[in-house]
Structure 1
Amino acid sequence: MASGDTAYQRVLDVLVEAGIGSVELTLTTPGTFEALPGLRERYGDRVDLGIGTVTNSSDLSAAVEAGATYLVTPISSTALVEQATAAGVPIVPGGLTPTELFGSWSAGASAVKVFPAGTVGPGYLKDLRGPFPDIEVVPSGGVDLTSAAAWLKAGAAAVSVGGPLLGDAFSGGQLSALAERAKAFVELCASRPS
């Protein structure tokens, strides 16, 4: 196992125990490709493990080969959407403008990531749904527990939460604090309106 496996395992053990069902491992963390197969073996069907921060074709291919169950990219690239779709792996590309988001959605993305979501806020989803009533949106960037509730109430398909959930867990922070934050997010998502 790669050196990053131990840190990933400490954090994922807590997240999975708290009921988190999907975790995006980002390529900004060294050793992600090498860690993914072992993490998939360890967590099996208990959690979907995706690869995020995919920005080019070779990283997308490596993520698929490593066994990512989904892909996330911070950019709007129809070429990446088409490549992921051809590989049979769901992809959630990022964008901010209606043109970027609709371009990725119409190219076959499973959902689109409004990034950075903190810049526009949950009311933006209502605005997008005017011309694009069926678009599936996942806000990312600047999403904390309070704004996650507002995005879910506005109709977001899911929320992508990084720092407000993980805190300092990867740098030796208290795992009990991580567990409390994770449970709060799980409860929030479980209580979302249908």
Structure 2
Amino acid sequence: MNLVESLGAHRLLAIVRGKDPAAALSTVRTLVEEGISAVEVSLTTADALTVITRARAELGPDALLGAGTVRSAADAARAVDAGASFLVTPALVEGLEPYGVPVLMGALTPTEIEAALARGADAIKLFPGSLGGPGYLRALRDPFPDVPFVPVGGVDAQAARDYLDRGALAVGVGSPLVGDAADGGDLEQLRVRAAEFLKTAAGGRP
């Protein structure tokens, strides 16, 4: 199953960023153990490339493990070399096609969405999603009915359900899901939050 198919099936992308590489790795491991199939490690995470490399070694070649906050082709090269199987950008980024992995490219306006698609984006990271909210996504569905959108930014469990109800392919969730786990926080509470978001993604109300 490819990235877009997986996001469409599971409807949730976990975003890990933190100050403690060991805790970030444990967070990735815990999220996967709890059933979250797609995990992004932000390149702003301390020693992010090592986290990706070690997570890839643990999870195997088929795991949907990506790199986020990719801002250049050089970032993409390092991330793919470390083991990232998809890339997530915060904005429009040139030159990612040669790396041969799916790209969720950041865009907000209709013009940016068209530009991202022209750059080969497999899906649009609607960012920051909190700026327009679920209503803005609903407005975008009319001119872009076939574009897969993944809203990111300020997505709590209730917002996740609202986005999914309004046509999002999936939602990308960072701190409302991960909390302080990637900084060394409580992994048991992370498991609780993961279960809540998985229920929401599957159609249950938070």
TM above 0.5: yes
Q: 2:154 aligns with which of 115, 121, 142?
A: 142
What fraction of aligned residue pairs are identical, expressed as a percent? 44
After the TM superposition, which parts of structure 1 deviate over 4 Å for at least 4 consecutive aligned residues? Answer: none
If each structure's helix is expressed as a fraction of its own residues, which one has the higher value? 1
- RMSD, matched Cα: 1.8
Q: Residue 64 of structure 1: CA displacement?
A: 1.5
Structure 1 segments unaligned to the other structure (5+ residues): none
TM-score by length of 2: 0.84
**2:174 equivalent to 1:191:** no
**TM-score, normalised via structure 1 length:** 0.89
Per-residue CA distance 1:60-110 (angstroms, 9 max, x = gap): 111121121100010113x2xxx3323211011112111001210233211
Unpaired stretches in structure 2, ≥5 consecutive residues:
1-18
- Identify the residue that residue 22 of structure 1 maps to in structure 2: 38
Task: Note the alpha carbon deviations across 1:112-161, whole angstroms, 9 max, x for none.
Answer: 11111011011112211221211110000111100000001111111110
Structure with greater contact order relative to length (CA < 8 Å, sep ≥ 6): 2
Q: Is 1:75 the counterpart of 2:87 in the alignment?
A: no
The answer on whether the counterparts of 2:92 and 2:116 sit within 8 Å (CA) in structure 1 is yes
Residue 51 (structure 1) shift: 0.2
Q: Is the 8 A contact 1:115 1:140 kept in 2?
A: yes
Matching residue of 2:4: none
1:36 maps to 2:48 = no
Match of 1:6 among 22, 29, 40: 22
Which of these two proteins has the greater Rg computed from alpha carbons?
Answer: 1
Alignment of 1:47-66 (within 5 A): 47-66=63-82
Paired residue total: 186
Work out the CA distance in 2 between the residues paired with 1:160 and 1:151.
11
